Amino acid sequence: MICENHTRVTEFILLGFTNHPEMQVALFILFLAIYTVTLLGNFLIVTVTSVDPTLQTPMYFFLRNLSLLEVCFTLVMVPKMLVDLVSPRKIISFVGCGTQMYFFFLFGSSECFLLSMMAYDRFVAICNPLRYSVIMNRSLCWWMAMGSWMSGVPVSMLQTAWMMALPFCGPNAVDHFFCDGPPVLKLVTVDTTMYEMQALASTLLFIMFPFSLILVSYTRIIITILRMSSATSRQKAFSTCFSHLIVVSLFYGTASLTYLRPKSNQSPESKKLVSLSYTVITPMLNPIIYSLRNNEVKGAAKRTITRKVLQKLDVF
């Protein structure tokens, strides 16, 4: 569609946190520290679950994939946000905006499905412990992981291509710190009802369908735990699910507040705060949650760090 009497937008301005210019340096330092902790924590999880022989199980295989996914997810938005906090020109090109939006949709959708695969893994471990190694074999785990990573490709391509094909002929200021769908859609100069209907359907599919699988898995898990005769067995079974439940609550809670809340109840500032939760805070908390609640991960981390230190000492 051609923009009559107007020049088509070739770049966008990310307003970010311009309402608080006096705080931008402090925010830069804060978010840089959080991003550093996020990378270190998730790479530690990836390293530990890859090299430690005691963690070569499906549960830690999926945890490793989750940490890799969190690194990719934050990489899409946080570096650009940090640059914008200290830059006078908060510009992103039209193509760059579309690219950021595509990978945001892709990794967000992938995380929804990966969390549901992790719930299924816990379901099999607790409800079918004798057949666990047979059901959750190496081949199935790889297919589940690949399916999770690739699940968002079709909808990400559809939403991004459709969005960026719409006419942007007027304002180009995005009231957000990254190119998310709703704030960019506000700049379109034609009726967007069809796109919004498609986006809502996709959101329901890629948020609610995996969440429904998680609910079904944990319903069966809770029923099985309550039927256990030993209090020790019940406590052990619940402890294996506790970290995953916290991560699911954080991710789905904040995502639902952003994408399933009525428009009338949303303000740009509140949306930014909620978006910060699942784009910056949650990826930092995930490795901390799994490490603090899991003695196997803590023990493996200590062994890995000790081994690296001893290797360096041997060099000298």
Q: What is the pLDDT of residue 71?
A: 93
Structure tokens at 276: 């910060």
The answer to whether the Cα torsion of 13, 18, 22, 28 is positive or negative is negative
pLDDT > 80? residue 259:
no
Mean pLDDT, rounded, for 24-45: 91
Distance CA 73, CA 115 (A): 14
Residue 243 to residues 77, 115, 185, 248, 290, Cα–Cα distance (Å): 25, 12, 36, 9, 6
> What pLDDT score was predicted for residue 267?
67
* Higher pLDDT among residues 199 and 266, named by residue: 199
Spatial CB neighbours of 212, under 8 Å, sequence gap ≥ 6:
none
What is the per-residue pLDDT across 191-206, written as a single tens digit (0 to 9) for each? 888 888 888 888 777 7
Q: What is the mean pLDDT of residues 208-220?
A: 90
Q: What is the pLDDT of residue 102?
A: 93
Q: How many Cβ atoms from other residues are within 10 Å of residue 127's Cβ?
A: 16
For 301, the token pair is 């981390």
Helices (H), 204-281: 209-227, 231-259, 268-276
User: Residue 313: pLDDT above 60?
Assistant: no
pLDDT of residue 171: 82
Q: How confident is the model at residue 114 (pLDDT cuts 50, 70, 90)?
A: very high
Q: Model confidence over 43-76: pLDDT tens digits? A: 988 988 888 888 888 988 999 999 999 999 999 9
3-state helix, strand, coil in the chain (%, to 5): 80, 5, 20
Q: Put residue 5 in one of left, alpha, beta given phi > 0 → left and psi -120 to 50 → alpha.
A: left
pLDDT for the residue numbered 88 = 81
In this prediction, residue 124 carries a pLDDT of 93
The pLDDT assigned to 32 comes to: 94
Residue 290 predicted with pLDDT over 80: no
Q: What integer pLDDT is reported at residue 136 of this predicted model?
A: 92
Contact 179, 12 (CB under 8 A): yes
11-314 maps to CATH 3.40.1160.10: no
Cα–Cα distance between 97 and 91 in angstroms, integer?
10
- Residues 6 or more apart whose Cβ sits within 8 Å of residue 31: 78, 81, 82, 85, 280
Residue 45 structure tokens: 């999880």
Model confidence at 264, pLDDT cuts 50, 70, 90, reads: very low
According to DSSP, the residues that pair with 52 across neighbouring strands are none
CB 151, CB 109: distance < 8 Å? yes
146 pLDDT band, cuts 50/70/90, is very high
Question: CA-CA distance, 20 to 28, in Å (whole number)?
Answer: 12
* pLDDT reading at 96 higher than 80: yes
Which range (63-72, 161-170, 259-268, 278-287) has the least confidence? 259-268
Helices 24-51 and 295-315 cross at an angle (nearest 10°) of 90
Average pLDDT over the chain reads: 83
The residue-averaged pLDDT of 126-130 equals 89
Among candidate residues 308, 95, 116, 77, the one with its CA nearest the CA of residue 210: 116
Across the beta sheet with 11-14, the strand order is 91-93, 11-14, 173-174
What are the φ and ψ backbone dihedral angles of 165, each rounded to 5 degrees?
Answer: -85, -15
The pLDDT value given to residue 169: 80
Specify whether the backbone of 16 is left (phi greater than 0), alpha (psi in -120 to 50) or beta: left
pLDDT-derived band at 165, boundaries 50, 70, 90: confident
Of the listed ranges 48-52, 96-100, 114-118, 144-148, the one predicted with least confidence? 48-52
- pLDDT tens by residue, 15-26: 887 666 778 888
Asked if the model's pLDDT at residue 303 lies above 80, the reply is: no
* Radius of gyration over every alpha carbon of the chain, rounded to an integer in angstroms: 22
Paired residues of 12 in beta bridges: 92
Where is mean pLDDT largest: 28-32, 169-173, 286-290? 28-32
